[in-house]
Homo-oligomer: A and B are copies of this chain.
């Protein structure tokens, strides 16, 4: 496995040249465009394998949508959550507002910004601080890493440049989908997107999902089996922005990407996988990471289909 990973990183490193770094926040441009790493946790024996840059920290960005969904489902139950957000994939972009106006007042799904803002608003907690604590606590346990935290610089930039998200949130506030104080919800959302992780952290989180919600290293139950199943389903249908359908055909495993360059992937009952590669393709997914996952899926027959 170790050799396979090394080979795949070598072979696909060239694609990073064609990619581009996320640039809407200056701090994201500090990433090293060449970086490409993959980390795999085999849940059968709890062995770990890796290749490339697996200890570089980056912000979780959209991958936090998975976290928000898990906690919102666990807190509120499936019916309450899906009363506020649909689970239909959409071929439109992740921050489209047309989706909200043309068809339905509910966001299409929890993997687009509008939907994730809603799930974040549904997380329990008396105060914003308490809610953030619960999010951080979940991620720390799911990654077996107590040092997980918010990157303050990125958070401040997100907040400063977050007007499109503000637009989405006020739109949903105006039609009753979003409740509570908009700026507070957004603040929590921006913090959640600014949590720092490594490819290793993501691989462990993926291992928990692959293991039906239970940590392979400590047998701690982090989510119910049903929540775990729902999350995997939505990752497949909506996890890779508007390239989700193509990724399902080519790779065929539940995954979620973020513009920080991370990909969280999970092969049910087999592997948790974490990718880091900040060079993105046109859809906003790690360009090298997609290629590595495609090859890995072919080699090991990972597709669930």
Contact = CB atoms under 8 A, between A and B. Distances in A.
A76 B221 CA distance: 47
A203 interface: no
A27 interface: no
Contacts of A90: 89-91
Nearest to A168: B167
24 contacts: A86-B91, A86-B246, A87-B246, A88-B89, A88-B242, A88-B245, A89-B91, A91-B99, A97-B97, A97-B101, A98-B101, A98-B102, A109-B245, A166-B166, A166-B167, A166-B173, A167-B169, A167-B174, A229-B303, A229-B305, A230-B249, A236-B305, A237-B237, A237-B245
B236 A249 contact: no
Contacts of A57: none
A163 B167 contact: no
Contacts of A161: 174
Contacts of A101: 96-98
**Count of chain copies:** 4
A112 B86 CA distance: 20
Interface string A162-191: 011011111101110000001000000000
Main secondary structure of the interface of A (DSSP, over half): helix
A262 interface: no
Interface of A: 86-92, 96-103, 108-109, 161, 163-164, 166-171, 173-175, 182, 229-230, 232-234, 236-238, 242-246, 248-249, 252, 254, 268, 303-305
Contact of A89 (B89, B98, B230): B89
Given A91-B91, A243-B88, A305-B304, A233 B248 contact: yes
A88 B167 CA distance: 23
A234 B245 contact: yes
A156 to B, nearest CB: 17
Given A97-B97, A163-B173, A236-B305, 6 more contacts: A86-B245, A87-B248, A88-B246, A166-B173, A167-B169, A304-B305
Nearest to A173: B163
Query: Which of A100, A161, A248 gathers most chain B CB within 10 Å?
Result: A248
